[in-house]
Structure 1
Amino acid sequence: MNKNTHRAGLGVSAAMVLALSFGAVSAPAQAEEVEPQAGDVLEVEVRPAIATPSGIVTVAAEYEAEDDDSDEAESDEADEAESDEADEAESDEADEAESDEADEADEADEAESDEADEAGEAESDEADDQGEAVQDGAVQETDAPAAGAVLAQRPTQSPGGGAPAAAVELVVDFGDGSAPEAMRVVGSAEEVKGFGKHAYAQEGTYTVTVTATPAGGTPVSVPVEVQVGGGSARLAGADRFETANRLAREDFPGDGEAGAVLLARSDGFADALAAAPVALLEEAPVLLTSTATLPESVHAEITRALGEAGTVYVLGGEGAIAPSVVEELRAGGHEAVRISGEDRVETSLLLAQFLLDSGADLDEVVLTGSSNFPDALSGASYAARVNAPVLLTAPGALDARVLAFLQQLDDVQVHVTGGASSVGDAVLAELAAAGYEVQRLAGGDRYETSAEVAGTLFPEATSVVLATGSNFPDALAGAPAAARRGAPVLLVGSELPGSVREYLQDGAGRIQSVYVLGGEGTVPATVLAEVNTILGL
């Protein structure tokens, strides 16, 4: 858990922080400690984990009763999750090792490393460009949260069906001395959901405790920490889909609150990151799907965020997101609008045209390499914050379609993220010859580039977002989330890079909130601990 913090008030909205908290089992003082029973699970989520004084905090609890015969399946899933996590940890270590070797070499060596990092995705995108169906690759597992408190008795269905009648009582103690409150309970007998809202008057760190008391059973409690006025929070779900879902619930905590949803493939970075400015324009979360199948949890989140109707923008061609996914969305009552070009460059231009057609005044653009996710991630948050499109190009020459789009704009400044291996000097020369003001933001490696972008474009940021520089899935939905907080995305590895450390040291006393994308297998706890120490959080 994070240290208690006392910071000056932040200009941060109540829907700002992204954190998923599955509490450990902790029996309340008035109840006997209960040995966990199979099946029943209590999960507690606080939105946000970092709040501003007087801002509204939402506490959501879910109690799910399961049949005993599902225990073996749960055990198998847990074993498989552990195995996947171990496999991915090895893969991430290998990726990062390659990245570190590239960082120590000169720019040409770094270019080779970046090409190696992106080879798999380039092949996948080539298939997309040709209209071939691409199956979703292995899902990156972040730290799978442990099950929370386990209840002793399954609730019974109310006589009339629908919401349970006194099957389980959910009470929340907000930890600030106010009286505990009964939560508003909805759902079925097998899955009971409770909600509570509260505003904290003082800065500090509070422990929110939800107690579930099933009819005839023993109360069990789950504590979750909430910080008011500043601090740090880890933004993680069980996998890339759940992480994006969690971000959506944080930025759009009310049911039906989102203006739209942007749906992107989970195994490619280009479409999701290029869509970050549209996400802010449309008041939309970015959610992820596999190519052939829409995950059940994602479909449920779309329905929660939009309600029974609303628009889902499907990003990419049929090789990226299959027609079957679109059909499922329409069958569920949602309007599905596909935004797709012949390749990732054209898709990014269609998203840019979307901004232009909306009446946005485009006086800045972010240009990045079409096959380099770290540089695109570093630039996408700024682009979304200032309503600037994210444009892609091959490194050797400026794509003619990009130049044609720029010629529609007046007095536009072009921010190029990444070194010559990402966007070559010939591209910058062509832009300058065409009369555009060009600024290259680059360092010796991807980590320095992210720090350079942060220092140049976010000089007064009071929040930062940390993401791994080795892989992109957890960060796909994070660029618009960072933009909503006016925060740069800083890339880290298994250790805190020196360039990022320097940016944080310069911001000590100013930076008051830190968000981490992904679990401890993605961004280690030691890295977050060092960042907290530097910033005094």
Structure 2
Amino acid sequence: MKKTLATTATTTAAAALLVGLVAAPAQAAPGFAFDQRISGPDRFATAVAASKLLEPVDGNGTDVVVVNGYATVDGLTASYLAGLRSAPILYTDTGSVPAVTAAEIERLGVRDVWIVGGTDRVPQAQQDAWAAAGRTVHRIAGADRYETAAMVATADDSGDAPEQVFIATGTGTADALAAGPIAWARNYPVLLTEPGTVPAATAAALTELGTANRVVLGNAVTDAVYGQVAGTQRLAGADRQETAAKIADDAIATENFDSQSVALVGGTDATAADALAAAPVAGAGGVPLLFTGFDGGLGDGTSAYLTAHEGNYVSAGDGWVFGGEPSVPQRAVDAATALVQ
């Protein structure tokens, strides 16, 4: 199932709110601000808030992707699967399905539940309960994160080879998450590798996909592995903030993402869940993601990106924040707004 941003944008009211692809003037409008925060009291509720923005019409969501909210490494590649199904990403816990998640699945009218991760992350009892409720449940899970990613990457049964594949380290989260909106919007799989060696499952998936355009994300992947996976491009900066900025620039330059809108998410490993939940919404609107710094500030890479693109941000665009105050402090949001005024 292949999408373009134009066709995706017509599927939900959320996308219509997010997309604003018009020529940018020379300087930012004084009214542009990061004033649209999508959040809840925890990661489960934040994911639900993002889902409601993606699909505001009750009963209109046929599919949902579910991952463990505290083991997002299993879901690093879930943005691609969610994009294939035009679906949101929701979180569960090993003990039980959070009430907000269960309510959102009901509100959406989900017919197909796609689980990413094994029964140690999303227990069989939860799968059985969804099936008993009349839903078709699909589980994608391998022996480890690399095999799981490979299985997700090869889950499209349309017969169409993806135009591009992302390859990122499996020992960190940020680089893969920064490309999540693109993976969702463009149906680009995300494969994982060890920093110094290519797992057999990843190599096999690359062969099965047969995609020549292979973009490596971040500097954690060594040059040797870059050669082994036959990389065609590397998008990387000095840190995760700068790498996200490089990915954002490429999304605007080559994937028709909106140069006038931008989203902030927390840049720490603890806030990775917000970035994954944001991917479907940002992907639907063609909005690039940027990471804030580790100290509650913006970080040098994000600050430099916003300063360089100040002239793009006009009243037609949107400044988004995914995650609550603990994830993206208001002082970082205010600093971002000040940079683009």
TM-score, normalised with respect to structure 1: 0.55
Residue 265, structure 1, aligned to residue 65, structure 2: no
Rounded to whole Å, the distance in 2 between the matches of 1:482 and 1:360 is 24
Instruction: Report the counterpart of residue 428 of structure 1 in structure 2.
Output: 226
Residue 320, structure 1, aligned to residue 121, structure 2: yes
Instruction: Report the counterpart of residue 108 of structure 1 in structure 2.
Output: none
Higher alpha-carbon Rg: 1
Cα drift, residue 12 of structure 1: 6.8
Instruction: Report the counterpart of residue 216 of structure 2 in structure 1.
Output: 416
Cα drift, residue 425 of structure 1: 1.9
- Tell me which amino acid in the other structure corresponds to 2:266: T
- Which digits, 9 at most, give the CA deviation of each residue in 1:159-203, with x for residues without a partner? xxxxxxxxxxxxxxxxxxxxxxxxxxxxxxxxxxxxxxxxxxxxx
Aligned with 1:443 (options 233, 237, 253): 237
Cα drift, residue 271 of structure 1: 2.6
Q: Note if contact 2:60-2:108 (Cα within 8 Å) is conserved in structure 1.
A: yes
Residues 255 and 518 of structure 1, relative CA distance in 2, 3 Å threshold: same
- Tell me which amino acid in the other structure corresponds to 2:306: L
- Which digits, 9 at most, give the CA deviation of each residue in 1:346-393, with x for residues without a partner? 1111111112x2234312101011120111111222222221101011
Residue 238, structure 1, aligned to residue 38, structure 2: no
Instruction: Report the counterpart of residue 304 of structure 2 in structure 1.
Output: 502
Rounded to whole Å, the distance in 1 between the matches of 2:236 and 2:175 is 9
Residues 394 and 414 of structure 1, relative CA distance in 2, 3 Å threshold: same
- Which digits, 9 at most, give the CA deviation of each residue in 1:374-424, with x for residues without a partner? 1111122222222110101111111122122212344521111111xx212
Rounded to whole Å, the distance in 1 between the matches of 2:339 and 2:14 is 23
Residues 328 and 361 of structure 1, relative CA distance in 2, 3 Å threshold: same
Residues 526 and 230 of structure 1, relative CA distance in 2, 3 Å threshold: closer
Rounded to whole Å, the distance in 1 between the matches of 2:318 and 2:86 is 23
Cα drift, residue 51 of structure 1: 9.0
- Tell me which amino acid in the other structure corresponds to 2:248: A
Instruction: Report the counterpart of residue 333 of structure 1 in structure 2.
Output: 134
3-state secondary structure, aligned to 1:398: coil
Aligned with 1:288 (options 61, 68, 91): 91
Rounded to whole Å, the distance in 2 between the matches of 1:284 and 1:409 is 22
Rounded to whole Å, the distance in 1 between the matches of 2:297 and 2:166 is 28
Which of the pair has the greater relative contact order for Cα pairs under 8 Å at 6+ separation? 2
Cα drift, residue 315 of structure 1: 1.2
3-state secondary structure, aligned to 1:16: helix
Aligned with 1:278 (options 77, 81, 87): 81
Residues 331 and 351 of structure 1, relative CA distance in 2, 3 Å threshold: same
Residue 514, structure 1, aligned to residue 332, structure 2: no
Cα drift, residue 510 of structure 1: 2.0
3-state secondary structure, aligned to 1:392: strand
Q: Note if contact 1:272-1:477 (Cα within 8 Å) is conserved in structure 2.
A: no
Instruction: Report the counterpart of residue 200 of structure 2 in structure 1.
Output: 400
Cα drift, residue 461 of structure 1: 2.5
Cα drift, residue 437 of structure 1: 4.4
- Tell me which amino acid in the other structure corresponds to 1:266: G
- Tell me which amino acid in the other structure corresponds to 1:408: E
Rounded to whole Å, the distance in 2 between the matches of 1:279 and 1:15 is 18
Residues 410 and 473 of structure 1, relative CA distance in 2, 3 Å threshold: closer
Rounded to whole Å, the distance in 2 between the matches of 1:490 and 1:346 is 28
3-state secondary structure, aligned to 1:377: helix
- Which digits, 9 at most, give the CA deviation of each residue in 1:109-130, with x for residues without a partner? xxxxxxxxxxxxxxxxxxxxxx
Aligned with 2:155 (options 333, 348, 354): 354
Cα drift, residue 533 of structure 1: 2.3
3-state secondary structure, aligned to 1:261: strand
Residues 411 and 339 of structure 1, relative CA distance in 2, 3 Å threshold: closer
Rounded to whole Å, the distance in 2 between the matches of 1:410 and 1:329 is 35
Rounded to whole Å, the distance in 2 between the matches of 1:476 and 1:457 is 17
Residue 16, structure 1, aligned to residue 42, structure 2: no
Q: Give the gaps of 5 or more residues in structure 1.
A: 1-10, 18-46, 53-203, 205-226
Instruction: Report the counterpart of residue 468 of structure 1 in structure 2.
Output: 266
Instruction: Report the counterpart of residue 386 of structure 1 in structure 2.
Output: 186
Residues 271 and 430 of structure 1, relative CA distance in 2, 3 Å threshold: same
Q: Note if contact 1:261-1:306 (Cα within 8 Å) is conserved in structure 2.
A: no
Rounded to whole Å, the distance in 1 between the matches of 2:115 and 2:201 is 22
- Which digits, 9 at most, give the CA deviation of each residue in 1:293-324, with x for residues without a partner? 111221111011125xx011111111111111
Q: Note if contact 1:467-1:491 (Cα within 8 Å) is conserved in structure 2.
A: yes
Rounded to whole Å, the distance in 2 between the matches of 1:318 and 1:305 is 24
Cα drift, residue 508 of structure 1: 2.0
Rounded to whole Å, the distance in 2 between the matches of 1:276 and 1:383 is 6
Residues 51 and 487 of structure 1, relative CA distance in 2, 3 Å threshold: closer
3-state secondary structure, aligned to 2:214: strand
Higher helix share: 2
User: What is the percentage of aligned positions where both structures have the same residue?
Assistant: 33
Residue 453, structure 1, aligned to residue 247, structure 2: yes
Instruction: Report the counterpart of residue 27 of structure 1 in structure 2.
Output: none
- Tell me which amino acid in the other structure corresponds to 1:257: N
Instruction: Report the counterpart of residue 4 of structure 2 in structure 1.
Output: none
Rounded to whole Å, the distance in 2 between the matches of 1:383 and 1:412 is 16
Q: Note if contact 2:175-2:240 (Cα within 8 Å) is conserved in structure 1.
A: yes
- Tell me which amino acid in the other structure corresponds to 1:467: V
Residues 462 and 402 of structure 1, relative CA distance in 2, 3 Å threshold: same
